[in-house]
Structure 1
Amino acid sequence: MSRILDLARRYWPVTLTIVVGIAGLVLASLGSGWLVQWLFSVYSLAIAAWQAVGMVRALLRREFGLDVLAVTAIVSTVIVGEYIAALVVVLMLTGGEALEDFANARAKRELDALLDRAPQLAHRSVAGEYQDLPVNEVRVGDVLLVRPSEIVPVDGVLLSAGATLDQSSITGESTPVEKVAGDTVPSGAVNGQEAVAIRATATASASQYQQIVALVAHAAESKAPVVRLADRFAIPFTLFSLALAAVAWWLSGDPVRFAEVLVLATPCPLLIAAPVAFIGGMSRAARNGVIVKSGGVLEQLASAQTAVFDKTGTLTYGVPALSEIRAEHPFTEDEVLTFAASAEQYSSHVLAAAMISAAQERGLHLLEAESAREAVTNGVVARIQGRDVVVGKFAFVAQHSPNARRTEIAPGELAIYIAIGGLYAGALLARDHLRANAKATLQRLDTLGVKRSMMLTGDAAETAQHVASELGITRVRAECLPADKVTEVSNVRERPVIMVGDGVNDAPVLAAADVGIAMGAKGATAASESADAVILVDDISRVALAVRIGRDTVQIALQSIWLGIAISVVLMTIAAFGLIPATVGAVTQELVDLTTILAALRAIGGRLDKREQEADTAGVAQSAGTNAPITR
């Protein structure tokens, strides 16, 4: 009962219209038909006046909407004595808000789910016990307990031996992910059946899930582009409806025909279809790991002509991996890697992780250093087992080992040199690799109508050309500064243009593009904040998916609008011959509204099944064999 009362208060115009209708039925049963006519007519004209005020205000803002049709339909039905039809039109208008609210709630289900799941409490370890506290009070370094089926409150590192996490709400992964001690644990993931302990590595506001929630909240607030889409049809539809009604009146000589036509020209299909479709498209994108910040972004994606990509971390994985060890006599490959990784334990350079990871994969035992120091941008010097170990750039290592010599490298490879005990011990080669589905993504974009592609990178020209040739990209600009990227994107003629990047240095060009898409899986950055859409998973194929969702959404919105217009035009034409009474026409128009809403709800789509994902990333297996060498 309380639910019904809440709805009645929330949609008071609908409630009031129903009350007026019931009162009319009571008066009619008492034989006061003339009073019913006055009640319905006065109430309908009052609503028309209320609508007219809004219409005038919109016109003063130079915004032409569809209110004029509704107001004219109400006034004309009252004038010709079709007071029941007038009340039905009023019910349709006031009920339109309730219908749109329901449809929007259905369309926003995935967006709202993310907002509703935001964790509120955390369990912090204090003197051997766990105490509950608001998630916003968690500090970096706090040890937290995550109970079975609870949501991880902040980003952290797993302290327990193992955990099973459901990350589907933030990454779209359908299967649980196994974690071991030391692995990163993202906020928003749902813990499995065993309680685990984590150490917080970020506060709530800086954690991945809270950043996603902020993006979703921003996305849910945007509706302006939707209005523009509907308004494209407002003037021609209004003029056609008024002209048809006037012709019907003129040919028949009966003013009732004018009213009978206009009650079937009410604008709900145009007012509701587009918003529902766009919110549904945004919800569909969120369900598939892409947060789109506004309906306008979907419109731009739908008509995109050019896709521009950053290289490192976007077209490539952005994580250098050891590719070859060139040991010098008397050292073996395992010795070179063991000493290099042991020294790199004391370095914060991105290449250090690659060396350590490679040693662990080979089952090598890392040695503890007696002392170590890092020479920023050059390398590391460590004393291990009584010998000085120097790892880093050639010039740096050559200062400690006169017999050091450069090694040959392929385009895009990077050599890390090492000297042990004053002797040159060899070089370790590292390189980045193309994403396995990068080429397939470009091909998919081409089939979706994004025919032109371009790569912008700060890397050397030789490396950039090598990567571009592997992917079939013909337009390349290398050795770019952030300002150069902005200039290049601004000069692209084939627009709208999509820019895809992942780093802080990409923030300016993402903001400058028609649609900036950030690869935000590695955490919230300036790139995510300045982008129009954020991909939550480390999967470049979601760029093509975002374009497809944009095209589907706009297509469904237009189809729904045209469906409503087509049905209305057919019914108006029939009514022009006097075959549809005004009251019947008003009721029929409600069915047109419902049909239009149901058509627009198709934009919600469904989760891509396995076969669709395989189709979207066709050629991945073939592309995976391409290990293009790339450096930062």
Structure 2
Amino acid sequence: MAEGINESFAKVLQRWTTHNNRRAENMNNRLQLGIAGLAIVAITLHLWLRFGMTIDGDVAGVAIRDFPLLIALVLGGVPLVWNLLVKLFRAEFGSDLLAGISIVTGVLLGEYLAATIVVLMLSGGEALESYAVRSASSVLRALANRMPAIAIRQVGDTTEEIPLDEIAIGDTVLILPHKVCPVDATVVSGRGTMDESYLTGEPYRMSKTPGSLVLSGAINGDSALVVRADKRAVDSRYAKIMEVMESSQQNRPKIRRLGDQLGAFYTPLAVLIGVAAWVASGDPVRFLSVMVVATPCPLLIAIPVAILGAISLSARRSIIIRDPSVLEQVDRCKTMIFDKTGTLTYGRPKLVEQLVDPNQDAARVLTLVASLERYSKHPLAEAIVSAAAQSETSSSDTLLSVSEISEPPGAGLRGIVDGHEMQITSRKKLLAKGGGWAERLPEQSGGLECVILIDGEYAATYRLRDSPRSEGHSFVDHLDDRHGVNRVILLSGDRTSEVQYLGEQVGITECLGDQSPEDKLRFVTEQTKAAKTVFVGDGINDAPALMAATVGIAFGQNSDVTTEAAGVVILDSSLARVDELMHISRRMRRIALQSAVGGMTLSVIGMLIASAGYLPPVAGAIAQEAIDVVAVLNALRVAWAPKSLTDF
């Protein structure tokens, strides 16, 4: 009992801590947005008073037109500088620290406009960064919003609506068509299908009959089902998914931004040059001159401009960048992990092979099977009916009459078609009956299959697969040579045999099947600790792994949860778009480095000139502006589309 109390207390404490952390993050984000807004208003008023009203008066030696800037610097600049001082005491030397020194230097020099612009850049950048981080919390909200708030409990001949948390084990629950299943349960009455792809990764609707298990979060099909609750809502599969998601959010990898990496070197160098100039000359103005020239605008402006250009170019290629930091990371990742369904495959199963007994006519068998399958709720039935419709010798117009249909749970499909007794079952169930069937069946291979008996005699074996994308093999092959990806892994909730078969088709040797969302999260987390990772998926079951990877890429817009969890959403589901993203990232990083390093090099030259006393503060500010213009103009090139963005 004491152990249970301690566990409950730990959970309460964890939730309280998480809540407080989120509240602090939200408050900080609102503060940054407020400071950015105040800076914009102050700059606008200053320019209006300076050029629109042409007011030249002053109060206590301060020009009237500078008062809005002073207000912004006091209310916005002081908190920012204080936070940067805290970083200084922690020995965290980023580019933002030098920006803080620039704010102070600008105030001391009377360059209030320049100081306020730096305040705007700092606060606006932090607000955007906070937005990217907060997107993880929106995943949990999307998950929570997906579940119904109430359930319909059936008591005798009556029904009642109750809150979800009041469902008890053994309660009978009615699930209406197209509604979300509230708990893990067993079907009591009704026949239909459910979409469980969010959890299993299977691209099919799963048939449900009395005795079938249903999972919380699954979407019901066209028929109402009555189920018996096997677990409470808080213990059901969907609740576990949310727990996994929250865990992956708390352990999301920390990414060190390009500007911070460069700033860690540039900031102490600039301060060292400034202090050396002051000490050598005995003139503090030399320090101020160096700091003005050292303002890290190539880092604070050129890199964000390059990132915005890459975001714009990506959007024109149907690639939505939700977290800008992925642009700095995706082309530097060494491990790429794929979900199977909908990423390396098209997510649509097809009949790919018909192994027909020599004594049977293939077209006739297909017509008989399709005639029966059109009444089935089995997930593969649609593929067989579709194959018959596309066949030259069999079509939906030639399907035959069916009677005495039977599809008991787990026993396959039976029926009378045009006077013939038909049975569609699995290899495993047929062999379990004995009778020497093994000698008549073809050799087993990977993928899905069904065995057809006509009038008690073996007629055919049909093999069905979710077709691999046509560009899959060439894409996988080029990752190592062209992008430095030395490990490609296929990680799926599908059957292991099907996963391995697909791996053979696309050239992936490291394949793991039958993976739950927890398994995926655990695996991706371990791989991310060893090397930077990219995870590509398209279902809710992929969301935890998308968040745990260095870069998460979601295909399509099938799930709000998935797109919220991913750093990148590819609307036009194609591996070519993934390649384009990697090339956009590489090109953005190259141009951003050109702008930042080139700008910093020119700034260092300017700092050395200023330290020698040949560049006073005003001239230094002008020189820095010229450097900024060059760096920003170069960064703008990122938005220009090159001739080609793919190389496979």
The residue identity in structure 2 corresponding to 1:59 is L
CA distance in 2, matches of 1:510, 1:226: 15
Quickly say closer, same or farther: Cα 1:326–1:88, change in 2 above 3 A.
Answer: closer
Q: 1:416 aligns with which of 437, 450, 457?
A: 450
Q: Which residue of 2 aligns with 1:68?
A: 100
SS in 1 for 2:443: coil
Kindly report which structure 2 residues correspond to 1:139-158, keeping only aligned pairs within 5 A, or say none. Answer: none
SS in 1 for 2:348: coil
- 1:175-217, CA deviations, whole angstroms, 9 ceiling, x for partnerless residues? xxxxxxxxxxxxxxxxxxxxxxxxxx9xxxxxxxxxxxxxxxx
- 1:220-254, CA deviations, whole angstroms, 9 ceiling, x for partnerless residues? xxxx9899543444465344334333444455555
SS in 2 for 1:598: helix
CA distance in 2, matches of 1:44, 1:420: 87
User: Is 1:89 aligned to residue 114 of structure 2?
Assistant: yes
Q: 2:361 aligns with which of 332, 349, 366?
A: 332
User: Is 1:267 aligned to residue 296 of structure 2?
Assistant: yes
The residue identity in structure 2 corresponding to 1:548 is H
Shift of 1:357: 1.8
User: Is 1:542 aligned to residue 577 of structure 2?
Assistant: yes
Check the 8 A contact 2:73/2:116 in 1, yes or no: no
CA distance in 1, matches of 2:570, 2:46: 46
The residue identity in structure 2 corresponding to 1:437 is E
Kindly report which structure 2 residues correspond to 1:331-370, keeping only aligned pairs within 5 A, or say none. Answer: 331-363=360-392, 364=394, 365-370=398-403
Q: Which residue of 1 aligns with 2:462?
A: 428
Check the 8 A contact 1:390/1:400 in 2, yes or no: no
Quickly say closer, same or farther: Cα 1:402–1:503, change in 2 above 3 A.
Answer: farther
SS in 2 for 1:429: strand
CA distance in 1, matches of 2:434, 2:457: 6
Quickly say closer, same or farther: Cα 1:418–1:525, change in 2 above 3 A.
Answer: farther
CA distance in 1, matches of 2:538, 2:68: 58
Q: 2:531 aligns with which of 495, 500, 508?
A: 495
Quickly say closer, same or farther: Cα 1:379–1:286, change in 2 above 3 A.
Answer: farther
CA distance in 2, matches of 1:594, 1:476: 50
Kindly report which structure 2 residues correspond to 1:186-197, keeping only aligned pairs within 5 A, or say none. Answer: none
Q: 1:320 aligns with which of 349, 356, 359?
A: 349
Check the 8 A contact 1:438/1:541 in 2, yes or no: no
Quickly say closer, same or farther: Cα 1:457–1:75, change in 2 above 3 A.
Answer: closer
Check the 8 A contact 2:414/2:423 in 1, yes or no: yes
Q: Which residue of 1 aligns with 2:588?
A: 553
SS in 1 for 2:377: coil
CA distance in 2, matches of 1:564, 1:501: 39
- 1:282-333, CA deviations, whole angstroms, 9 ceiling, x for partnerless residues? 3433332333331233334243111122344433344332233333465311
The residue identity in structure 1 corresponding to 2:552 is G
Structure 2 residue runs without a partner (length 5+)? 1-36, 130-176, 179-221, 223-252
Q: Which residue of 2 aligns with 1:440?
A: 474
Shift of 1:13: 1.6
CA distance in 1, matches of 2:433, 2:384: 21
CA distance in 1, matches of 2:69, 2:544: 54
Structure 1 residue runs without a partner (length 5+)? 1-7, 79-85, 105-139, 142-200, 202-223, 619-632
Shift of 1:337: 0.5
Q: 1:514 aligns with which of 525, 550, 553?
A: 550
Check the 8 A contact 2:319/2:571 in 1, yes or no: yes
- 1:400-459, CA deviations, whole angstroms, 9 ceiling, x for partnerless residues? 998966421352154322233444433333344432212222233212121122233456
CA distance in 1, matches of 2:625, 2:256: 21
TM-score normalised by the chain length of structure 1? 0.63
Quickly say closer, same or farther: Cα 1:479–1:453, change in 2 above 3 A.
Answer: same
CA distance in 2, matches of 1:519, 1:46: 47
SS in 1 for 2:624: helix
Check the 8 A contact 1:13/1:94 in 2, yes or no: no
Quickly say closer, same or farther: Cα 1:485–1:73, change in 2 above 3 A.
Answer: closer
Q: 1:372 aligns with which of 383, 387, 405?
A: 405
- 1:474-519, CA deviations, whole angstroms, 9 ceiling, x for partnerless residues? 4333454444444433433641122223444444433433333333
Shift of 1:566: 1.9
Q: Which residue of 2 aligns with 1:214?
A: none
Shift of 1:25: 7.0
SS in 1 for 2:422: strand
Q: 1:393 aligns with which of 399, 416, 426?
A: 426
SS in 2 for 1:436: coil
- 1:592-624, CA deviations, whole angstroms, 9 ceiling, x for partnerless residues? 333333333334352x75xx36x53x3xxxxxx
Shift of 1:37: 7.5
The residue identity in structure 2 corresponding to 1:516 is G
Quickly say closer, same or farther: Cα 1:330–1:474, change in 2 above 3 A.
Answer: closer
Q: 1:18 aligns with which of 33, 47, 60?
A: 47
Aligned sequence identity (%):
32
Quickly say closer, same or farther: Cα 1:474–1:98, change in 2 above 3 A.
Answer: closer
| CA root-mean-square deviation | 4.4
Shift of 1:339: 1.0
- 1:357-385, CA deviations, whole angstroms, 9 ceiling, x for partnerless residues? 22111142223434534334443223333
Quickly say closer, same or farther: Cα 1:58–1:372, change in 2 above 3 A.
Answer: farther
Q: 2:441 aligns with which of 390, 402, 407?
A: 407
Q: 2:568 aligns with which of 517, 522, 533?
A: 533
SS in 2 for 1:372: strand
Quickly say closer, same or farther: Cα 1:382–1:598, change in 2 above 3 A.
Answer: farther
CA distance in 2, matches of 1:242, 1:9: 29
Alignment length (residue pairs): 480
Check the 8 A contact 1:226/1:275 in 2, yes or no: no
Check the 8 A contact 1:313/1:502 in 2, yes or no: yes
Q: Which residue of 1 aligns with 2:82?
A: 56
Q: Which residue of 1 aligns with 2:167?
A: none
